[in-house]
Amino acid sequence: MRSDSKAVLGEGSTDGIGPWLDGPGGRVVLVSHDLADAEIYCRWFNDPELHHYNCDRRFTAFSLDETVDLLRRSWIETGPDCRRFAVRLLGTGRLVGQADIYQIHADSRRARVGLEIGEKDLWGRGLGREVLGMLLEEAFGSLDLHRVEALIYSFNLRSVRLFERAGFRREGVLRERLARDGGFHDEYIYGLLAREWRERRFP
């Protein structure tokens, strides 16, 4: 669904925020990233706990300038094979996370999805489930994909539960793929087909 972003986000929102997605849960909206939010993203990039669950690189501090550069290059100026969203609370416009549909392969009609709720005071409130539902609605609906994949570290139990409850199947294990905390950890490959999603969505 598309609409005027300022009307949707509330009086405190910023002009110029682009195409958005809203879901049936009615608590969050997915919109284009905005460089004005660089300080919030910089805080997330420098959070060791968020890094632990979401990044495979060695933890290093991000400066604000580096954050702005990353946002511009990778999250705002994207190509046709990637859709990246900021997650905002509906009504207040508060930035609470980010979500992606990426590595979109038009010929095979497949892509990967990922999401992060960066504001930890909102963990455990079901926002991730709502965001994932919106990503799948876009992937299997507007983008007409046949298959959606996700890669999840074995120790990220919150994400494992989220994706499995959404109907994803664990299709494989990349053994000891991530070096972290003095050891090696597996990474799981999850997949969901369009027909499986439709059967769950429309029983």
Whose tokens are 């632990």? That residue is 52
In which domain, by residue range, is 154 found? Answer: 5-201
Sign of CA dihedral 120, 113, 3, 33: positive
Q: What is the mean pLDDT of residues 16-27?
A: 58
pTM: 0.86
Query: What are the CA-CA distances from residue 93 to residues 13, 33, 35, 108, 121 (Å)?
Result: 6, 12, 15, 36, 16
Alpha helices (H) along the chain: 5-9, 38-45, 48-54, 64-70, 127-137, 157-165, 194-201
The CATH number assigned to the domain holding 32 equals 3.40.630.30
Distance CA 17, CA 13 (A): 9
CA-wise closest residue to 85 among 141, 163, 28, 43: 28
**Bridge partners for 183 per DSSP:** 180
Distance CA 152, CA 45 (A): 18
Whether residue 27 contacts residue 127, with contact meaning beta carbons closer than 8 Å, is answered with: yes
Residue-wise pLDDT for 55-89, tens only, equals 777 777 889 999 999 898 888 777 889 999 999 99
- pLDDT at position 145 is 98
What total number of domains does the chain contain? 1
- pLDDT at position 5 is 39
